[in-house]
Structure 1
């Protein structure tokens, strides 16, 4: 596009084949850099080089002209972006003015100066014609910025066509009138070129910057066509001067039309803003009127609502008149302190007397520091109620000073945070206990792995025999599996806490087959504990879900049953159906669960105090099993009697047809 426009412009260079009064590439280059960024400068440089290489001037001059054209575009884009904060919509007067002055007038100086200098050094421009050549070059480039760049910038932006019949008719009529009058007045040597102004101004007023830009480009094309053929009102001494006159006329006309369009756009924005402000003000007046109508009623309720809110939040308010040493408390603050107004001395010293002796000095220092450096402050302290109960309060306040900077008043709140502090302390205790437990549970298997590996490597303790080596290897494998299971449980618990776990019901799971595999996997553990492990299941029972997650549930439940069942006990795993639900029951003859602990067994990291020291574990198995069951539309329940064992029921909706109950020999597994 740049090369084609350049070739066209050079055909209109009459006195010097490298200098023309019509140079559209200037506007094309500026628009390219504004729309595509500075990375477009190599394309501009290449286009300028190729276009000027056909003019017959020496290569150094061609390089100089190409450099000038490129610098002109880069400088124009830089000035518009950095200095003017240019917006290509051209809906602000400042943007049109910036385009005319910074790009049209200033940046084109670079191209004109470098280009004419290059031609002079190449001997293509005599010294006496430098000023004339520079003027033609500069004004020609200015015309490209003022006529071509706005049209490209505006029509490169997304816009919506108004296809209403009336609008289409107006566009067609305006465009036709502009073309007809342009052909009439620009093809004859008459002084009536000004008759185009009303139509150009109409385009600006009715169709905005796009209409103004398109109209001026159309008129400029007509003017160049007739002027280049020696016709029209701009013809004078030389062809270059004639074209220069037409370009100057169109440049000023385009600037005027764009300014008028920008003024119209700004006026429309101001009108919309004024209307919006008017509507908002009218709405606010109505709202304020309604507020005033309800003010008396709201005022009577506010104190009651404040008192209720303070009671719910356990926050009381206070105010201290420092000069008079008078302290005023809200009703809630009296309740927090357990005092009646008659019991409180209503002074600062009376307040300090209620503070716990161990916190009294720190509270007094916090208040004194706030008085010395007025502003906001807060501190925690304990208070002793008349009944001897100790409460923990978080105090916040602000100091008010007079014109001389002297503190005169202090006000703030007292928040009873006793329960929160106790909960935080309990949480900290549980956290510390958890970390200690996890550290121990992870370190013990790992130490065992390392110890047996060292024995295998060093050949100690009889590890040189195949039987002993196999025994050590099996021990390593079991402990490694245990460690892996612990880590997996911790990671899954973290997923549950963060909300990252989601169901993936893409598998059809045969629960009978799955349970058979999980029971067989637990057979060795049951045998080592001398516990009888048996499975009774339907011959065919399927559900939809994640096979791996269900395996994790059954592994956890079976492992728990084996862990809390003493030697010689029994664990029965049963799969049956009830309506459209599969029910997996795991019953053990273990130690059972105390009544006080049954509601807490599904809590993360909970382990009954009776087994916490004797039996290892993290307390994550049941919470994980419950989360997986609920994620797939199921549930999990526990029935237990302390000292008589427990039964865990895992229920999940069926996915398809359920077969009949299998025979004992086909479906029962005693391990």
Structure 2
């Protein structure tokens, strides 16, 4: 049974006759371990990697002289493959002279490969923690022994594994304003185990302040008592700083938008009204005195009127863009009041076209007043713009509430109430291809 176990584990035993310089006994076929019965020392050393030969010779000599037990690990070539061999043995003496070495030999190549993989995995794990600025920890509640990963030491501004951390030592790093809340949170979690997430600030030994995002769990023993806490901490200082910067800029933008709304109000009432009067009365002045003024005076007056209209149009365009982009406020609003305000603001264009605008009283609706005003403005000015030559425009505006059947056929939600507003005119119209 012992021999079978040795074969399964690829372990062998052998006796080295020091006086004859040959292997004289063995427990299995040692060929897979680089040995054969009758091998001389030189034949064994021929398979050993050159970089390890001196080490093997020295270990063998020390074992023979009795200065230390024989134990050696070396690389060798077996069946054209490089393997790692471990051997350990004891020298026996006869008449005061070393006579034989009884030793165990084992192929530890797979073990070394596994260790290498584990070391590489540990290295990658540490690299991942460093890249993400995240470390892990555990705290034995009863012994007050805290273990930190290397990256957590780095986050706290300490050399890796430079000291033994305790609960009180951890609290000493926590920002004074966050210390009691963090301490209370830990005790509460021990009393009521479960997953927790939290933010807190720390101060490193060099005085730097950092913001950490933590997660933790409490482990329970068989008796249902908390015995250990485990968790992670991530340095989110840069992220939180960026969030604060974005928040501050958002506040500034909101203030700028508020100022823009004030400007829009001033422009609408303090700038547009004088311009409207200039263009209106300038046009009337031209109509009343056109025959009395010479050609140059008529041209100057016409330029004044056109310039005021152009400036008014530019203000309208600026206002329409600023209002649409900055105002998303909805409120219960009189649509009739909005419509009448629009008609009043384009009074000159209506008179110039000799247009008639007919409308029924419109109901109140929960709308964005600025956007609805812009919609009404676009529809009416388009009707004036695309009127038939020499035919005064007639614009009719009506409203009603669609029936349930009409709402269903339109693919709208039946649970909502809809208002339909119709704008019609006697203008040139448009092709059905552009109806949408």
- State the TM-score, normalizing by the size of structure 1: 0.27
Q: Which has the higher helix share?
A: 1
- State the TM-score, normalizing by the size of structure 2: 0.40
Q: Which has the higher strand share?
A: 2
